[in-house]
Structure 1
Amino acid sequence: MENDHGYGVTVLHEPSHSVEILYDLVAVHDLNGTGFETWTHKQNGMMWLKDLLPKELPNVRIMTYESDA
């Protein structure tokens, strides 16, 4: 799902039908992080934005934003 550390928006979860999307969530990393490592647990490799949040918010399009910070 990673974009080879290209910069910009990467969609992590897209509801099955566009009419079901309630809102868009874009996670932006801090100055020393990345759009993927910031949201990934170091020990188990689980990315909560992709692996956990869609279960709680199935009608939300979830994205991360990667920038050269």
Structure 2
Amino acid sequence: MGTLSLRLPDSLHEMARRVAKEESVSINQLILTAVAEKVSALTTETYLKERTARGSRKDFEDIMSRVPDVPPDPGDEL
């Protein structure tokens, strides 16, 4: 596991301290979770862009043509 020294403005540090206390976690755990969420969001966006580039409109339409034309289940209507 790596070690990271992080400088935060006093106001942000105090806010992080408060939120961590409210969530019953350490500031380290709060920051770890925040970084993990951000990295996940950014890598997901990259993955989806790469996946989209490999997609085919023709294949999509072919697959969608196999979906039966039936009314939606109750509660699934638009």
| TM-score in terms of structure 2 length | 0.26
| TM-score in terms of structure 1 length | 0.28
Judging by fraction of residues, say which structure has more strand: 1
Judging by fraction of residues, say which structure has more helix: 2
Q: Larger Cα Rg: Structure 1 or Structure 2?
A: 2
Task: Using CA pairs under 8 Å that are at least 6 residues apart, name the structure with larger relative contact order, 1 or 2.
Answer: 1
